[in-house]
């Protein structure tokens, strides 16, 4: 038997149920609208992010292009520097040693090296190509003696010695004003890395304090660095580049200084004086020239070159550059973010940087061998080098 029950809803409850049903429908509709609005907002935010990322990428490209253009702008030049090109350089002074007057036809350093078995260019070329070489016998002793001699002088002059890395990152080369990559570079770069063989310890010494704020009381800071130097020397050729004069690898003792802006001109004169002291001590004839503006590198505000007399160079002897010293003012410091600040001072300011070659071994060897040769083909060892060479004469 089936029993049917019929429930009767009182009128007052029917009204309440109807109201609840309408509210539920309204609530669901509002929720749907809210969800749709939320998705629209997400889509809009996503579009804004994509637009922001695209704009940032564009800004990055523009920043890189701007940076590349800015890096092409060279330093200003000193108002006293001669205006013009290579031939417009101005003579500043002559060294203490007069040009030797030989009563025999002088040999060049390549012929002297062959006579005394001092340099092996053929084996160097076999191993690494033209422009490389082996120093042998007394040439090795002269190399080390020149380094020690330079260090002794620089220690007396208050420099802190260092042996620097032979490699540096792209950003350090760029910061010091060198072009690490591209068709115009003279730099050997390491493939699949941002490292390069340095052409001078100026790069590594300058990079030592990159990104730092130096206490003003520490300035000036004077460093000297020993490093191997590597240069492609693209396009160099001719008798003037014969032998050791223009090679791809050599050892160099470099001077570097960080100073306040008002100290840099005086420091530049000091570095030039030290270079003169070194070559006067060696007894090598030389002249100092004030380099003309058109022959300055990008970073140099002013540059003095010391050119040693080389009896075997050219037809009857010529001067050849053996050292240079440059005041780079704040050109390198801006790119390397090197600043200074005094105690109690607000804000920072850029330092000035200067560099100068103490001894570039390859060219110093040319000057020593050619100026100290004798009629019998032997070579006198300069007095200041004898403690380290251990003899007075080669041959």
111 found inside a domain: yes
Catalytic residue among 77, 231, 264, 335: 231
Residue 324 annotated to the active site: yes
Whether 83 and 51 map to the same domain: the answer is no
Torsion angles phi and psi, residue 235, rounded to 5: 85, -5
Write out the DSSP string of 196-233: EE-S-HHHHHHHTTTT-EEEGGG-SEEEEEEEEEE---
176 found inside a domain: yes
* Burial bucket for residue 148 (CB in 10 Å: 0-12, 13-18, 19+): middle
Whether 30 and 113 map to the same domain: the answer is no
Catalytic residue among 77, 138, 227, 246: 246
Per the CB < 8 A criterion, the answer to whether 178 and 206 are in contact is no
Residue 148 annotated to the active site: no
Whether 160 and 16 map to the same domain: the answer is no
Catalytic residue among 189, 321, 349, 393: 321
Whether 242 and 276 map to the same domain: the answer is yes
Residue 231 annotated to the active site: yes
At residue 14, the pLDDT reads 57
Which residues sit opposite 225 in a β-bridge? 162, 254
At residue 330, the pLDDT reads 95
54 found inside a domain: yes
Per the CB < 8 A criterion, the answer to whether 325 and 274 are in contact is no
SS3 42: helix
Catalytic residue among 77, 264, 363, 370: 363
The CA-based diameter of the chain, rounded to the nearest angstrom, is 150
CA atoms 73, 75, 80, 84: torsion sign? negative
- Residue burial 287-307, b: 16+ Cβ < 10 Å; e: rest: ebbbbbbebbeebbbbbbbbb
Q: Which helix (H) or strand (E) holds 267?
A: helix 264-282
CATH number for the domain that contains residue 260: 3.30.930.10
SS3 302: strand
Domain boundary among 73, 103, 120: 73
Residue 219 CA to residue 259 CA, distance in Å, equals 5
> Can you say whether residue 377 is alpha, beta or left, with left for phi > 0 and alpha for psi between -120 and 50 degrees?
left
Q: pLDDT by residue for the chain (395 residues), tens digit each?
A: 555 555 555 555 555 656 556 666 667 777 777 777 888 888 888 888 888 888 998 899 988 888 778 777 889 999 999 999 989 999 999 999 999 999 999 999 999 999 999 999 999 999 999 999 999 999 999 999 999 999 999 999 999 999 999 999 999 999 998 876 666 678 899 999 999 999 999 999 999 999 999 999 999 999 999 999 999 876 555 556 789 999 999 999 999 999 999 999 999 999 999 999 999 999 999 999 999 999 998 899 999 999 999 999 988 899 999 999 999 999 999 999 999 999 888 899 999 999 999 999 999 999 999 999 999 999 999 999 999 999 999 98
1 found inside a domain: no
Whether 221 and 352 map to the same domain: the answer is yes
Strands 393-394 and 379-380, sheet pairing: antiparallel
Domain boundary among 73, 102, 124: 73
CA atoms 274, 288, 119, 117: torsion sign? negative
Residue 321 annotated to the active site: yes
At residue 41, the pLDDT reads 85
Give the structural domain span for 176.
79-394
Residue 75 CA to residue 300 CA, distance in Å, equals 6
SS3 167: strand
Whether 373 and 345 map to the same domain: the answer is yes
301 found inside a domain: yes
Tokens of 119: 């340099």
- Evaluate if pTM is beyond 0.75: yes
3 found inside a domain: no
Domain boundary among 36, 58, 73: 73
Residue 146: which of 318, 379, 296, 361 has the closest Cα?
Answer: 361
Whether 138 and 42 map to the same domain: the answer is no
372 found inside a domain: yes
* Number of compact structural domains in the chain: 2
Residue 148 CA to residue 226 CA, distance in Å, equals 10
Whether 157 and 249 map to the same domain: the answer is yes
SS3 14: helix
Q: Which residues fall within 8 angstroms of residue 75, CB to CB, at 6 or more apart?
A: 296, 298, 299, 300, 301, 328, 329, 331
Residue 242 CA to residue 230 CA, distance in Å, equals 17
Whether 93 and 198 map to the same domain: the answer is yes
Whether 210 and 356 map to the same domain: the answer is yes
Residue 246 annotated to the active site: yes
SS3 319: strand
300 found inside a domain: yes
CA distances to 168, 203, 233, 312, 360 from 229, in Å: 12, 10, 12, 24, 9
Tokens of 60: 């990055």
Whether 54 and 121 map to the same domain: the answer is no
Catalytic residue among 324, 326, 335, 339: 324
The separation between the first and the last C-alpha atoms of the chain, rounded to the nearest angstrom, is 140
Whether 56 and 106 map to the same domain: the answer is no
């Amino acid at each position: 038997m089936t029993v049917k029950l019929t429930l009767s809803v009182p009128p007052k409850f029917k009204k309440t149920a109807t109201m609840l049903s309408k509210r539920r429908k309204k609530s669901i509709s509002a929720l749907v609208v809210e969800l749709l609005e939320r998705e629209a907002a997400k889509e809009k935010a996503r579009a804004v992010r994509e637009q922001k990322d695209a704009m940032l990428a564009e800004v990055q490209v523009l920043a890189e292009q701007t940076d590349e253009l800015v890096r092409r702008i060279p330093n200003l030049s000193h108002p006293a520097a001669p205006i013009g090109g290579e031939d417009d350089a101005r003579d500043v002074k002559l060294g203490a040693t007069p040009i030797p007057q030989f009563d025999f036809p002088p040999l060049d350093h390549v012929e002297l090296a062959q006579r005394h078995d001092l340099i092996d260019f053929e084996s160097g070329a076999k191993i690494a190509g033209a422009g490389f070489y082996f120093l042998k016998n007394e040439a090795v002793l002269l190399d080390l003696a020149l380094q020690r001699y330079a260090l002794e002088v620089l220690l007396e002059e208050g420099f802190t010695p260092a042996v620097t890395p032979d490699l540096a990152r792209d950003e350090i080369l760029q910061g010091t004003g060198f072009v690490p990559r591209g068709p115009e570079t003279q730099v050997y770069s390491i493939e699949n890395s941002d490292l390069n063989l340095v052409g001078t310890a100026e790069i590594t010494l300058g990079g030592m304090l990159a990104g730092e704020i130096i206490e003003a009381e520490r300035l000036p800071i004077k460093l000297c660095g020993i490093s191997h130097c590597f240069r492609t020397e693209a396009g160099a050729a001719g008798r003037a580049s014969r032998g050791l004069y223009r090679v791809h690898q050599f050892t160099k003792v470099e001077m570097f200084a960080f100073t306040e802006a008002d100290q840099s001109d005086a420091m530049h004169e000091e570095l030039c004086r030290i270079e003169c002291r070194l070559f006067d001590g060696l007894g090598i004839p030389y002249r100092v020239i004030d380099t003309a503006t058109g022959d300055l590198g990008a970073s140099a505000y002013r540059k003095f070159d010391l050119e040693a007399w080389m009896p075997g160079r050219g037809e009857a002897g010529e001067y050849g550059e053996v050292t240079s010293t440059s005041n780079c003012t704040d050109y390198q410091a801006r790119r390397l973010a090197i600043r200074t600040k005094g105690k109690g001072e607000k804000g920072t300011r850029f330092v000035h940087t200067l560099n100068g070659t103490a001894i570039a071994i390859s060219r110093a060897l040319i000057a020593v061998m050619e100026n100290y040769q004798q009629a019998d083909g032997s070579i006198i060892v300069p007095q200041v080098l004898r403690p380290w060479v251990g003899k007075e004469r080669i041959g």
